């Protein structure tokens, strides 16, 4: 999978002696962006090595992972199957930009009930998929497995080790686990979950080999996919001030949290904070469509 060069972009907040460096992983690729590129890199290579010509994965209707996998499959001449949460979407797939993109890239979409979706890790459910589609290389929801962690361990470069803090958004815990593994022990790795609940701690411990991390759980805005006008306002102001787009599911909430913590004095003066921009920008169009229906402010693109 080809990619473009990424860059670190410094930003400063008035009246604070704190330096923020944004690692623009979102610039890796327009679709296979940020952590999705990292997670798929070695999984695609492994599928080829095993001579599997089909990739199958799971995701929601606006999943960045679904879009990225569909594009990666097309680039690598592999068939792709997306098992999508929500059987009510079967007649609406052409109304959803993410699913429309995935389908246009050749992905076969299978819609399942939420009850079925909860069984996605069960052998019995996977076997029904094998019976329906034949053999495939399975990539978990969000792409997190050992090969994904290996890819995410490549996010930090030598110049990043000067940061006191490394921040990233957290979905399934794979990205932060890779960052933890490759970080210096004296760096503090902070994860900002997009979901409510403390279940991620154990998931991360299953992959992480250091203890220099913690989760900041106060900035999910009500849960996964939940968005409030103050978040949209922050994302739009941030883009105008720094020319860096943020998505409202992951990176927007993380950056909102970082700015709020700075105002509250969480970070000492002189801190250098590396913020990993994990991409996810493809989902903005779909989110804006939902916001339009609610007559709420839109994210500027």
Last residue of a domain, one of 114, 143, 172: 143
- Whether 69 has a pLDDT exceeding 60, the answer reads yes
Same domain, 223 and 86: no
Range of the domain at 61: 36-143
- Residue 32: band (very low, low, confident or very high) from pLDDT cuts 50, 70, 90: very high
Is 194 a residue whose pLDDT tops 70? yes
Supply the pLDDT for residue 225. Answer: 79
Last residue of a domain, one of 143, 177, 206: 143
* pLDDT value of residue 223: 84
Average pLDDT over residues 97-106: 94
287 shares its domain with 156: yes
CA distances from 63 to 16, 31, 54, 251 (A): 36, 12, 19, 14
Specify whether 24 is located in the same domain as 41.
no
State how far the Cα of 21 lies from the Cα of 11, in Å rounded to an integer. 6
Average per-residue pLDDT for the chain: 93
Cα(194)–Cα(187) distance, integer angstroms: 22
Global pTM reads: 0.94
Six token digits for residue 4: 């473009």
- 218: domain CATH number is 3.40.50.1100
Residue 4 has pLDDT above 70, yes or no: no
Q: For residues 183 and 108, state if they share a domain.
A: no
Residue 91 has pLDDT above 70, yes or no: no
Confirm if 232 and 248 have CB atoms less than 8 A apart. Answer: yes
Residues 123 and 156 reside in one and the same domain:
no
Residue 157 sits in the same domain as residue 282: yes
> Could you tell me if 265 and 173 lie in one domain?
yes
Cα–Cα distance, 48 to 79 (Å, whole number): 12
> Which one of 122, 143, 164 terminates a domain?
143
For residue 153, the Cα-to-chain-centroid distance in whole angstroms is 15
Do the domain assignments include residue 167?
A: yes
Percent of the chain with pLDDT over 70: 95
68 in a domain, yes or no? Answer: yes
Do 20 and 163 lie in a common domain? yes
The whole-angstrom separation of Cα 144 and Cα 44 is 13
| Domain count for the chain | 2
**Is the pLDDT confidence value at 262 over 80?**
yes
Residue pLDDT, tens place only, 37-48:
999 999 999 999
């Amino acid at each position: 999978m080809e990619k473009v060069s990424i860059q670190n972009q410094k930003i400063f907040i008035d009246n604070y002696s704190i330096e923020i460096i944004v690692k623009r992983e979102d610039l890796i690729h327009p679709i296979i962006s940020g952590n999705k590129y990292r997670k798929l890199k070695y999984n695609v290579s492994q599928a080829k090595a095993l001579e599997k010509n089909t990739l199958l994965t799971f995701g929601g209707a606006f999943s960045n992972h679904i879009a990225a996998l569909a594009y990666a499959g097309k680039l690598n001449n592999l068939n792709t199957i997306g098992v999508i949460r929500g059987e009510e979407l079967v007649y609406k797939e052409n109304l959803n930009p993410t699913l429309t993109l995935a389908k246009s890239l050749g992905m076969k979409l299978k819609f399942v009930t939420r009850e079925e979706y909860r069984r996605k890790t069960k052998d019995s459910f996977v076997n029904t998929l094998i019976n329906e589609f034949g053999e495939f290389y399975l990539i978990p929801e969000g792409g997190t497995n050992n090969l994904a962690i290996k890819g995410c361990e490549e996010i930090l470069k030598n110049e990043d080790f000067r940061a006191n803090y490394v921040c990233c958004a957290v979905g399934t815990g794979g990205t932060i686990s890779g960052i933890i593994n490759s970080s210096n022990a004296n760096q503090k790795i902070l994860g900002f979950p997009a979901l409510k609940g403390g279940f991620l701690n154990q998931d991360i411990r299953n992959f992480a080999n250091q203890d220099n991390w913690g989760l900041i759980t106060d900035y999910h805005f009500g849960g996964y996919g939940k968005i409030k006008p103050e978040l949209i306002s922050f994302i739009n102001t941030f883009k105008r001030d720094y020319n860096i787009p943020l998505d409202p599911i992951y990176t927007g909430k993380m950056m909102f949290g970082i700015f709020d913590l700075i105002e509250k004095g969480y970070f000492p003066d002189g801190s250098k904070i590396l913020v990993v921009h994990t991409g996810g920008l493809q989902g903005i169009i779909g989110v804006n469509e939902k916001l339009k229906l609610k007559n709420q402010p839109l994210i500027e693109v």
